[in-house]
Amino acid sequence: MSNVASEGADYPLLSLLDSPADLRRLPPQRLQPLADELRRFLIQSVSRTGGHLAAGLGVVELTLALHYVFDTPEDRLVWDVGHQAYPHKIITGRREQMAGLRQSGGISGFPKRSESPYDTFGVGHSSTSISAALGMAIAARRQGLKRHSIAVIGDGALTGGMALEALNHAGSMRDLDLLVVLNDNDMSISKPVGAMSNYLAKVLSSRFYNSVRDGGKATIGKIPGMRDFMGRWEEHMKGMVMPGTFFEELGFNYIGPLDGHDLPSLLTTLGNMSEMQGPRLLHVVTQKGRGFHPAENDPCVYHGVTPFDPDTGEMNGGSGRPTYTQIFGQWLCDKAEQDPRLVAITPAMGEGSGMVAFRERFADRYFDVGIAEQHALTLAAGMACDGLKPVVAIYSTFLQRGYDQLIHDVALQNLDVTLAVDRGGLVGADGATHGGTFDLSFCRCIPNLLVMAPADEVECQRMLETAYRYPGPALVRYPRGTGPGAQPGTPPQPLEIGKGRIVRQGEGLAILSFGGLLGSALDVAERCNATVADMRFVKPLDEALLGELADGHATLISLEENAVQGGAGSAVNEWLAAQGRPVRLCNLGLPDRFIEHGSQDQQRADAGLDAEQLWARIKRWL
């Protein structure tokens, strides 16, 4: 048992809960003291493990209310993204397991179906909850089951086109039991209006109000012309005091805004809404980071945290070396100083992509489009059509969501767009949902696209410069975290397109390294006197260097932190086969499975890509 979980004296109510069934046995007046304990527990637990903090602190009361009112897991509760799901994990039987959160062999930082029956849908990417909950509601109707389906989505996730598509679809299905809870934690949709809004939410969700409204409509509807008049009157009256006209027009019965930290109001309103029919939407307003002053003051910084001091909020320091993300951020600012055509685009990942300084210095050239990766790519394409030089900063895992736009809108038109693809390869504690393990495979098959993978910090800087100067679409894919410690120079010199380099000369065996595993390749090479090539370019390949290595070595090994299927090694295979060169070749990369969360070093060991296992694998193959 974890130290935190065993301290029953500090958490007398929380220690009694092993499931939501235990929660539902508590009288309502004990829920607020329980919420206070749950919030303290969450702060203490995440201070030890690191993870996502501010979002979870904001939904403590909402989480308790949802599990109290609804019969989970029979009723399906779907969380969007999962950053906000830590309180949910704690009260669904995983309190003691929080000590191993996001660690190798421990529980995931996101809802995961294989982990708990209460995790009804696996998430990690944004804006999926309404689609999934709608699918579950349709399944319940088809099977004749009386079961609620509830999606909890943040206001940020609502910017994703997929969420709006799901709302549009769901609103037309009047016979489904679907509740969407909109967690507005940044006041980006509307401001709360205090006691009056809470009162209105309770009234508008009450059985009396809805029976009068529906009965009145049925009666008045028999009078010629009155149905349209009453419909317009109700819409205008609600529009005067409520921000939900948009959702009502989509077909949802909208209730809110409601104070998401007012447990009595939440319980009453959710209880009323559980008895309603058809699609309905509850709008709650919460405070990110609630109950922990550092997170309240700066919820962005405390969105994702390393281990920290729970009293002061001070986080553990890093290695002191700049990360690849920071190198990109500095290059972006330097380049913007030189070229007024440069504009930068991010799909809601400005901080994570290292763009804070750029946003502050070049506010009119910074475009955060929200969680809308498809729009980000086509926006860049439009800018490039008319003389701007767009740089799109995006995580590898999120580039997957803009794949059609990358092909159809950027590459097909051969537009001058630079893609800075962060988190390429294994990403550590965020696990498989955020791993950038397929980008080399799905990008190298796209015509016109230049694809590069740096081995160190200097190479990253030079590749960004190369991509920016390239007159067509170009992509630089770099890892999460720090590199080997190479010191970037200024100004960076661009690379010759499609040219790799020999970094160690040996004999017999040559290792072709693509990206950040160069250090492991050199370690292995020292044991067997192998040649090592830093290939640099995945597309176009350095065919002259490949020919030289094939002629001078009996065996070639390709190495990449990407899926083997269709990756950089496959490109080498294809070229050798086309040339008819009878060279023995082994492709080493990520296995054909998802790599679970842990540290990046643990993940590489799990995938057989650390130096010791690489050497063992090569010896077995030879």
Kindly tell me the burial class for residue 264, based on how many C-beta atoms sit within 10 Å of its own C-beta (0-12, 13-18, 19 or more).
middle
DSSP class of residue 315 equals: B
C-alpha–C-alpha distance, residues 341 and 156, integer Å: 29
Neighbours of 28 (CB within 10 A): 12
C-alpha–C-alpha distance, residues 303 and 123, integer Å: 17
C-alpha–C-alpha distance, residues 416 and 205, integer Å: 52
Neighbours of 526 (CB within 10 A): 14
C-alpha–C-alpha distance, residues 498 and 415, integer Å: 19
Neighbours of 339 (CB within 10 A): 10
* 373 in active site: yes
Q: Return the bridge partners of 258, or none.
A: 284
Q: Which candidate in 102, 202, 288, 604 is catalytic?
A: 288
C-alpha–C-alpha distance, residues 488 and 329, integer Å: 13
Neighbours of 67 (CB within 10 A): 24
Give the residue among 190, 182, 51 at the shortest CA–CA distance from 129.
Answer: 182
* 217 in active site: no
Q: Which candidate in 37, 61, 373, 560 is catalytic?
A: 373
Which two structure tokens, joined as six digits, stand for 559? 């190495």
C-alpha–C-alpha distance, residues 187 and 174, integer Å: 29
Determine if the peptide bond prior to 488 is cis (ω within 30°): no
DSSP class of residue 92 equals: I
C-alpha–C-alpha distance, residues 152 and 134, integer Å: 12
Alpha helices in 77-182 (DSSP H): 86-89, 129-142, 161-170
* 74 in active site: no
C-alpha–C-alpha distance, residues 501 and 522, integer Å: 13
Q: How many residues are given for the chain?
A: 622
Give the residue among 62, 76, 72 at the shortest CA–CA distance from 131.
Answer: 76
Q: Are 415 and 385 in contact (CB under 8 A)?
A: yes
Q: Which candidate in 89, 94, 401, 423 is catalytic?
A: 401
Catalytic residue numbers read 288, 373, 401
